[in-house]
């Protein structure tokens, strides 16, 4: 659990711990810095722990997945962050106490099934990797990390506007995108930002999902959406369909590639990237791979009886 995450409190931690402990032996481990959850999860897997639950934001969950991928341990999900994209993608409510009921029901039923993950430069990701402008926005948010717990979505909106205005070069392309799949031609040489999806939606604005591609699911290969322009008109026109749940509207300026097992993004000048909402710096090359059945996951039971408001 990440005690610094937006929705993690002392009270809901006690309630969640008590609920999961009703039929299972539960150890509680707090993280204190980036990378802790990966180390703790990997250690738990080596010790034969059956399930490692990530209680925090999407970054905490990403670290748990990275720590246990390829082991016999399964991953469990509890939303504790400000957006909780992956938890909501698999149908969990955004409230961690309510989500714990669904997770506990899945644990009780031993509903553990394999899911596919994306991998970029050796790092696993659960729902997406953002490259270019998208990553520059996350970088701006992390510079004000102390405000993230309290401001949430307004902080992201402010960061997006300030990055658009002065924090990202909107005149020159930042990278090329190539894929081994047939029919991709010579690839894309003028990418401004790309989103590589392992699931859909890409993210949420409040309760509204941004549905970029219905082809992005846990049992299918990756999807890449590349913006070849920073024209506000072209981007907003493309996102119109995504906000209405129909997927992004493609054009010459916005290209969607589906069914990707491998993908390479590169440029002589370093460009920024983020993985599941965590900014990871600037690189000259990103190599993506889809890993089927990378980890087993506890699937929540949505027929769980939730506690009353009282």
The pLDDT of residue 192: 96
d(CA 232, CA 252): 15
pLDDT at position 307, please? 45
pLDDT at 152: 61
How do residues 152-161 score in pLDDT, each as one tens digit? 667 778 888 8
Q: Return mean pLDDT, the chain.
A: 90
Task: Name, in order, each residue with C-beta under 8 angstroms of 250's C-beta and a sequence gap of 6 or more.
Answer: 238, 256
125-292 CATH fold: Tumour Suppressor Smad4 (2.60.200)
Residue 246, pLDDT score: 87
Q: Which residues pair with 53 in a beta bridge?
A: 76
In the chain, which ranges are continuous DSSP H helix?
10-20, 36-46, 58-68, 85-89, 96-108, 133-142, 145-151, 153-162, 232-243
Q: For the segment 275-302, what is each residue's pLDDT rounded down to a tens digit?
A: 999 999 999 999 999 999 999 999 998 7
Specify the pLDDT at position 167. Answer: 85
Same fold, 10-116 and 125-292: no
* The predicted structure's pLDDT at residue 61: 96
pLDDT band at 89, cuts 50/70/90? very high
Largest CA distance in the chain: 61
Strands 175-178 and 203-205: unpaired
In this model, does residue 12 exceed pLDDT 90?
A: yes
* Domain spans in the chain, listed from the N-terminal domain onward: 10-116, 125-292
**Residues 160-206: tens digit of each pLDDT:** 888 988 889 999 999 999 997 656 666 999 999 999 999 999 998 88
pLDDT at site 183: 60
pTM: 0.91
27-75 pLDDT, tens per residue?
999 998 889 999 999 999 999 999 999 999 999 999 999 999 999 999 9
The region of weakest confidence among 142-151, 224-233, 245-254 is: 142-151
- For residue 147, the model assigns a pLDDT of 58
Residues sharing a CB contact under 8 Å with residue 25, sequence separation 6 or more, in sequence order: none
Sign (positive or negative) of CA dihedral 299, 304, 308, 309: positive
Tokens of 136: 């520059």
Distance between CA 208 and CA 12 in Å, rounded? 25
pLDDT for 180:
75
pLDDT for the residue 113: 95
pLDDT at residue 156 in the model: 78
Instruction: State the residue for tokens 């991709």.
Output: 184
Task: Tell me what pLDDT residue 120 has.
Answer: 97
CATH architecture of 10-116: 3-Layer(aba) Sandwich (3.40)
35: number of Cβ within 10 Å: 11
Residue 149: predicted pLDDT: 56
pLDDT of residue 166: 86
**What's the mean pLDDT in 227-253?**
91
């Amino acid at each position: 659990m990440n005690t610094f995450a937006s929705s993690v409190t002392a009270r809901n931690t006690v309630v969640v711990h008590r609920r999961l402990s009703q039929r299972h032996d539960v150890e509680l481990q707090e993280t204190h810095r980036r990378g802790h959850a990966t180390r703790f999860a990997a250690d738990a897997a080596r010790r034969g722990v059956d399930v490692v639950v990530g209680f925090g934001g999407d970054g905490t969950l990403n670290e748990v997945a990275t720590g246990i991928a390829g082991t016999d341990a399964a991953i469990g999900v509890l939303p504790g962050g400000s957006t909780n994209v992956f938890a909501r993608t698999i149908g969990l409510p955004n409230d961690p106490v309510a989500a714990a009921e669904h997770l506990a029901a899945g644990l009780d039923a031993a509903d553990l099934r394999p899911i596919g993950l994306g991998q970029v430069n050796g790092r696993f990701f659960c729902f997406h990797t953002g490259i270019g402008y998208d990553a520059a926005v996350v970088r701006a948010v992390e510079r004000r990390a102390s405000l993230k717990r309290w401001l949430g979505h307004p902080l992201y909106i402010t960061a997006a506007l300030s990055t658009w205005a002065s924090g990202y070069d909107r005149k020159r392309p930042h990278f090329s995108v190539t894929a081994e799949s047939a029919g991709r031609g010579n690839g894309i040489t003028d990418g401004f930002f790309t989103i590589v999806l392992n699931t859909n939606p890409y993210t949420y604005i409040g309760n509204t999902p941004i549905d970029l591609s219905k082809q992005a699911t846990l049992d299918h290969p990756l999807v890449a959406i590349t913006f070849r322009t920073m024209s506000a008109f072209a981007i907003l026109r493309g996102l119109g369909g995504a906000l209405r749940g129909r997927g992004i509207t493609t054009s010459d300026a916005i290209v969607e590639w589906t069914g990707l097992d491998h993908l390479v993004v590169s440029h002589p000048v370093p460009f920024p990237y983020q993985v599941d909402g965590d900014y990871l710096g600037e690189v000259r090359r990103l190599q993506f791979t889809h890993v089927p059945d990378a980890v087993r996951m506890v699937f929540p039971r949505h027929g769980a009886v939730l506690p009353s408001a009282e």
